[in-house]
Amino acid sequence: MGRLTLDPRKHFDPLGGSLLALSAFLSQGAFAFGYAKPTPVNPINLDGGRRGEAVVAAAGPLSNLIMAAAVAIPLRLVGSSDLILDVASNPVTSLLWNIGFLFVVFNVVLFLFNLLPVPPLDGWRVLLGLVPPRTAYTLRSYEQYAIFGLLIIVVLGGRIIGPILDGALDLLLGDAQGMLPLRR
C-alpha cells in the first residue's frame, strides 16, 4: 500500500488530519485528537505468530519513547547547568528549547496512549501477544466494542494518562521540566 516509508504524506488521512486541526483549534490547543492511515501488517509473514505481531506493535510506541529520551537528555543536561540562563536570553535558543520540550511531551503522550490495551491501539496487539492463545481468542470478541473504549479514553484520557505523563516527564527531564516552556 506504499506506507513502508518515513514520508508522512503517505500516512496522512484527510479525515484524521481534519479532526486534529479542528480539535486543536476549537480547544485553543488544550486538546487535539486525530489519526493517520495505519501501516498494514500481515501476521502470517512474521516469525513467532502472535508474539511476532506483539513485537511489531510494540515497535511504534517504543520508537516514540526512544525519540523522547534522545531529545530529553540534552534538555535535562542543559537545564541542570548554568546554561539555562543563556538559553532563555536568546529568542532563537528559547524557541528551540520550547520545541524540544513539546517534542518530548508529544512523544511521551503517544507512547502512553498507543500502549493502552484498547483496540485498535498497539497496546491491544501487545496484550494479545502476551496472553495464552485461548485468552487471546476470548479477548478478540471484545474488538467489536472498540469504539466505546476509544470514546472513554478520549473523554477520560487526561485522568488516565495525566499522572503517568507527569511521572515520565519528571524521569526524563528532571529539574529542567520546571523551566519549560521558556518565555522571554
pTM for the model stands at: 0.78
Q: Distance (Å, rounded) from C-alpha 19 to C-alpha 22? A: 5
Map grid coordinates 495505519 to a residue.
Answer: 38
**What pLDDT is attached to residue 156?**
76
Residue numbers in the chain where pLDDT is lower than 50: 183-184
100: its cell numbers: 524540544
Torsion angle of C-alpha atoms 104, 109, 114, 118, degrees rounded to 10: 170
**What pLDDT is attached to residue 23?**
85
83-96 pLDDT per residue, tens: 665 666 778 877 88
**What pLDDT is attached to residue 64?**
93
Nearest one of 119, 121, 136 to 51, comparing CA atoms: 136
Neighbours of 162 (CB within 10 A): 13
Neighbours of 173 (CB within 10 A): 25
Burial class (CB in 10 A: 0-12, 13-18, 19+), 10: middle
**What pLDDT is attached to residue 184?**
41
**What pLDDT is attached to residue 2?**
72
**What pLDDT is attached to residue 82?**
61
